[in-house]
Amino acid sequence: MPGEPQDDCLFCKIVAGQIPATIVRETDTTVAFRDINPQAPTHILVIPKVHYENAAALAAEAPQAAADVLRETQVIADEEKLEAYRTVFNTGAGVGQTVWHAHAHILGGRGMQWPPG
């Protein structure tokens, strides 16, 4: 059921404290932690504490939670002193989503190309 923790979800287990993560920030509605396979010098994931499969479902069914995730990307970028950064939401396996819990990637600390590949 959308919004409910999923027993088989890696990120739900991080929210519950069942799996360790390097937490950089936590609010009432979000958790942010360092990616275990960073693609940039700074690579932080921001997730809603509620479970939605992807960013599209989160935005459609829990717009306030989606806004909280997006707001936190800016707060974290400021805390990390990133002058420029990229925020990425992958929605679907075809574009690289591998964990089926909505999440934003904050990537920074190096130059990036456009279009992303």
What are the phi and psi torsion angles at 69 (to 5°)? -60, -50
Question: Is 3's pLDDT higher than 90?
Answer: no
What pLDDT is stored for residue 4 in this prediction? 81
Domain containing residue 45: 10-108
Q: What is the Cα–Cα distance from 69 to 13, expressed in whole angstroms?
A: 18
43, 51, 101, 103: the active-site residue: 103
- Summarised one tens digit per residue, pLDDT across range 58-116 is 999 999 999 999 999 999 999 999 999 999 999 999 999 999 999 999 999 999 999 88
In which band, very low, low, confident or very high, does the pLDDT at 6 lie, cut at 50, 70 and 90? confident
- pTM as predicted: 0.94
Q: What is the CA radius of gyration of the chain?
A: 13
Does residue 103 have an active-site annotation? Answer: yes
In which band, very low, low, confident or very high, does the pLDDT at 42 lie, cut at 50, 70 and 90? very high
The number of angstroms, rounded, from the C-alpha of 74 to the middle of its chain's C-alpha atoms is 12
What pLDDT is stored for residue 1 in this prediction? 60
Q: Is residue 114 part of a domain?
A: no
Identify the H or E element spanning 46: strand 42-48
Structure tokens at 88: 């990425």
- Contact between 49 and 31 under an 8 Å Cβ cutoff? The reply is yes
Measured between alpha carbons, how far is residue 104 from residues 21, 87 in Å? 16, 6
Beta-sheet pairing, 85-88 with 42-48: unpaired
Beta-sheet pairing, 23-26 with 85-88: unpaired
CATH value at residue 60: 3.30.428.10
Instruction: Give how many domains the chain has, as a whole number.
Output: 1
What pLDDT is stored for residue 2 in this prediction? 65
What pLDDT is stored for residue 102 in this prediction? 97
